[in-house]
Structure 1
Amino acid sequence: MVPSCASAPVILALETATTCGSLALVAEDRCLAEYSLNASSSHSRRLLSGIDWLLAQCELSWPQIGAIAVGLGPGSFTGLRIALSTAKGLCMATGKPLLGVGTLDGLAGQFPYSSLPICPVVDARKNEIYTALYRCNAQGLPEKTTGPMVIRPERLQEFITTPTLLVGDGLPLYGRMLKELLGESALLAPQEICFARAATIGSLAWGLFRQGSFLNPATAVPIYVRASDAELQFGEKKAQR
């Protein structure tokens, strides 16, 4: 049985920006439990049932949840909207504050105290990737130095000139090509840790929680980086008028 954390608040974290989504309950010093799911076929009902399961496993109830954190993207437009709408609905229903963490930040956050630059590579479809560059500060937390941006993967040559840790769900698609282009500068993370994790989103959200850096559930939006197909089509039709 996972020990509960009744004496201190717990953050409920949701991350569904990529195909392998997850939910987690995170205390200030550790992850209490994490639940993985296929985010490509997820909807709010599955997220809610997963949350119920996590709470039951940890013997926690809603009064012990201090805040709800969500991965804001970039990533799958559908996945981002589902997670954020679920998180916003829960915040409005329970009165819990909302915290938002970028998905690229979450991927980089899986490598605290890294001596190497970190480059998340998230599949953006259309032969493009969402990416950014990070370096860890004195506290071991990755800080963004470039990005976020959506580019063709081969353009990483313009930004990576020294050994850099690459991580993300774009590696199964573009890892071999990037290795050929970047040579020894491309250090590919193992596939099993190439997905953003709710546990990391929750851990990073603790810094925001302490600062009181909450989002307004009524106005919070995902980090898209690029317009959706529907928005692009609308823009094209508007330009043709």
Structure 2
Amino acid sequence: MSFILNIETATKNCSVSIAEKGKTMVCSELAEEGYSHAEKLHVFIEEVIAKAGITVQDLAAIAVSQGPGSYTGLRIGVSAAKGLCFALNIPLIAVDTLQTLASQANVSDGKIIPMLDARRMEVYSAVFNSDLTIQRATEAQIIDENSFKEYTGKIYFVGDCAEKCKTVLTAENFVFLEDIKYPSAQAMSKISFDKYQKSDTVDVAYFEPYYLKDFIITAPSKKA
């Protein structure tokens, strides 16, 4: 059996699923402002494995969200995935976070633009066709009133940026699917299985998340 454990921790949503041949069997997730990934992730992993009625030895691979997203969230997810892959000697699959988010939009036409908040008016975004083929690769961009106007037809926006972007992105063909806020491990199932079938895996030892922007640690200011 091709059981795959999917781990999504790139945003405020800590999400884990077990899938068999690309179909989600069980999913546990929680989105909190305080980022509870460190406390919840391993609990959720144990929970979904138990609910699926399998053991870790039944897993064929581990899939993890590769980013872009939260530095800390991605580190936690990737570290857990690597540890399991090393212990079980199974492959690691990296899944594009924005592709997972885009796949949650059930549309048959137009373009899907997943956006994740990168503070102020900056977002991480990509552009997908309705069949989830990539139209424009992931970028960090500043949103203004001219953003995405080069695309015609219906443009569907998903992600956690609706509140700050819908007052700026006001073209008639723009549609915000506000109920699709965070990527979910449930939506990773088909993507990870397709990659597994193609042996599209990454090196467990050397894989690093796709942060998109450099993570900078700022030293505390010294008082005079």
**Normalising by the residue count of structure 2, what TM-score does the alignment of the two structures yield?**
0.89
Counterpart amino acid of residue 187 in structure 1: V
Paired residue secondary structure (1:228) = coil
Amino acid at match of 1:185: N
CA drift at 1:115:
1.4
Q: For 1:229, what is the secondary structure of its paired residue?
A: coil
Contact 2:112/2:129 (CA < 8 Å) preserved in 1?
Answer: yes
CA distance in 2, matches of 1:166, 1:132: 10
Structure with a larger share of its residues in helix:
1
Report what 1:190 is aligned to. 178
What letter matches 2:10 in structure 1? A
The answer as to 2:135 corresponding to 1:148 is: no
Q: Give, in whole Å, the separation in 2 of the partners of 1:175 and 1:100.
A: 31
SS at match of 2:212: coil
Letter of the 2:136 counterpart = T
**What's 1:74 paired with?**
68
SS of the aligned residue for 1:86 comes to helix
Matches of 1:96 and 1:207, distance apart in 2: 16
| SS of corresponding position for 2:133 | strand
Equivalences for residues 45-84 of structure 1 within 5 A = 45-84=39-78
- Between stretches 167-176 and 201-210, larger displacement belongs to 167-176
Report what 2:222 is aligned to: none
- Structure 2: 5+ residue stretches without partners: 220-224
How many Å apart are 1:195 and its aligned residue? Answer: 1.1
Contact 1:164/1:185 (8 A) holds in 2:
yes
- Please give the secondary structure, in 1, of the residue aligned with 2:163: helix
Alpha-carbon deviation of 1:72?
A: 0.7
CA RMSD after TM alignment: 1.9
Between 208-217 and 159-168, report the one with greater CA deviation.
Answer: 159-168
In 1, the alpha carbon distance for the partners of 2:178 and 2:149 equals 24
Aligned-residue offset at 1:207: 0.8
* C-alpha separation in 1, matches of 2:25 and 2:165: 34
Q: What's the offset of the Cα at 1:83? A: 0.5
CA contact (8 A) 2:122 2:140 kept: yes
On the 8 A contact 1:109/1:204 being kept in 2, the answer is no
Matching of residue 216 in structure 1 with residue 203 in structure 2: yes
SS at match of 1:88: helix
Q: Describe the shift of the 1:20–1:175 C-alpha distance in structure 2 as closer, same or farther (beyond 3 A).
A: farther
- Point out where structure 1 has 5 or more consecutive residues left out of the alignment: 1-7, 235-241
Pick aligned residue for 1:107 from 93, 101, 116 = 101
Per-residue CA distance 1:133-176 (angstroms, 9 max, x = gap): 1114xxx4x11111210011225245434321110111133233
- The amino acid that maps onto 2:4 is I
Answer whether contact 2:115 2:157 (CA < 8 A) is retained: yes
Runs (4+) of structure 1 exceeding 4 A deviation are none
Given residue 77 of structure 2, which amino acid in structure 1 is its aligned partner? A
Q: Distance in 1 between matches of 2:79 and 2:36?
A: 13
Structure 1 counterpart of 2:31, which letter? N
Q: CA separation in 1, counterparts of 2:22 and 2:117?
A: 31
Q: TM-score, normalised by structure 1?
A: 0.83
1:11 aligned residue:
4
SS at match of 1:184: coil
Displacement of 1:44: 4.1
